[in-house]
Structure 1
Amino acid sequence: MRSLRELARLATRASSLASRAPAGAPPAIASRTRVFTMSSPAAEEVDAYKVGDSTNIKWHEGSVDASTREKALNQKGCVLWFTGLSGSGKSTVAYTLEHALFQRGKIAQVLDGDNIRHGLNSNLGFSAADREENIRRIGEVGKLFADSGMITLISFISPYRADRQKVRERVGDGKFVEVYMKIPLAVCEERDPKGLYKAARAGKIKGFTGIDDPYEEPLNAEIVMEVAKEGGDGTLAPPEKMAAAIIDVLEKKGFLTA
């Protein structure tokens, strides 16, 4: 065994050699991170920047399960997915419902399509591929919220059935409630709160849902909200009345108790 004095001498020599390294010599540590796994031989490297391809990623269960969280909140986590044309009142009803649920002592959160595009999805456009990714991401966030016991209100145009179905399957059919704001295009275009239909008709916006890009109506939505007088003046029911009707459905489905 080497003495402490000898170890100190070796350390001093190593430091001296390092200080005399020629200028421009490569650093001792590579600029790209490399990680080694205990299950692999020491010589087998895994690029940390490609960790998503690794078979070593495993799901970890927490020590607090969903049922325990729901009992603490006295409600059941779920996703209410508001879909419909621009101007159909999705966000208005969702925020009204959020307020009504808080008045009942329930914990709810609105995830609005416009708001999400300011942050999480700010790098996405409006191509079919980007719209698919837009819905996939918010579907994953909605699932996380629902698993935490949150009543999650997601307001996205989400024009394609296949994308909505993928979210339903990911969240779980028993926790997914589709709310279809079935408001005719003519009514939405007349309301046009953001001036988007006018811009689309003028050719200033391309690929606008309902004008030059399709909207695929839900076939079996759990909740359908329509204008007060179908074929009439297009007057919408008050958002408070719509929110109350949705709360009735949530009560019947058992989401407001645990």
Structure 2
Amino acid sequence: MSQSTNITWHESGISKEQRRQQNNHHSFVLWFTGLSGSGKSTIANAVAKQLYNREIRNYVLDGDNIRFGLNKNLGFSVEDRTENIRRIGEVSKLFVDSGQVVLTAFISPFQEDRDQVRHILEESEFIEVYVDCPIEECEKRDPKGLYKKARSGEIKEFTGIDSPYERPQNPELVIKTGENSIEECANEVIVYLRSKNFI
């Protein structure tokens, strides 16, 4: 619930549909969710490059990068994780309103938080992509050394170790980064978008 008072919503003089027409493509969110080390950011950036090469305006919002700025005041408690995702949902909606494609790479471990983002967008604007990779493989990769720190107790409330990850119930896409290459996974996303005439 908003705590702001004495505010009025101002309608834009340019509609979302007009911006889409100018850009010559649909606007939507590709929401990549999965465990740390599953490949969310890698796949999101690979898809973004393919979209760019097709002259589709897009931007990647990466979980770590956002915490350097917009969300630098948030920790990793359940409440802060929820607020982290709420803010990203609102930022993503702005990108969609501007007629662009936004790709988000966030663990976003809780189904309720992901659903809240879905609900602030219109139908066909939220595409949940579950980056499905066994925790054993994620831990083997451990690109940031986080699993090792979590196992030693240096990091508390780490998703998959001492904090839960709720697998998406009905994602639009499931990509298996433990079985397929980066290129194959990115191509799966592009094929899906083409099948929906989004690109």
TM-score, normalising length: structure 1: 0.75
- Match status 1:251 vs 2:191: no
Question: Could you tell me how far 1:52 is from its partner in structure 2?
Answer: 4.7
Cα RMSD, aligned residues only: 1.3
Question: Could you tell me how far 1:245 is from its partner in structure 2?
Answer: 1.3
Q: Find the residue that maps to 2:119 and give its secondary structure.
A: helix
Alpha-carbon distance between aligned partners in 2 of 1:246 and 1:200, rounded to the nearest angstrom? 31
Superposed, 1:131-170 pairs within 5 Å as 131-170=81-120
Which residue in the other structure is 2:137 paired with? Answer: 187
Question: Could you tell me how far 1:53 is from its partner in structure 2?
Answer: 3.8
Counting matched residue pairs gives 198
Q: Which runs of 5+ in 1 are unaligned?
A: 1-50, 228-233
Considering only CA atoms, is the larger Rg found in Structure 1 or Structure 2?
A: 1
Deviation per residue, 1:159-209 (Å, 9 max, x gap): 000000000001223200000001111111111111100110011110000
- Match status 1:240 vs 2:161: no
Which residue type is aligned with residue 185 of structure 2?
M
Question: Could you tell me how far 1:60 is from its partner in structure 2?
Answer: 1.3
Alpha-carbon distance between aligned partners in 2 of 1:130 and 1:63, rounded to the nearest angstrom? 35
One of 86, 95, 98 as aligned partner of 2:36: 86
- Match status 1:222 vs 2:168: no
Which residue in the other structure is 2:46 paired with? Answer: 96
Q: Which runs of 5+ in 2 are unaligned?
A: none
Q: Find the residue that maps to 1:173 and give its secondary structure.
A: coil
Question: Could you tell me how far 1:80 is from its partner in structure 2?
Answer: 0.5
Alpha-carbon distance between aligned partners in 1 of 2:158 and 2:95, rounded to the nearest angstrom? 30
Question: Could you tell me how far 1:242 is from its partner in structure 2?
Answer: 1.2
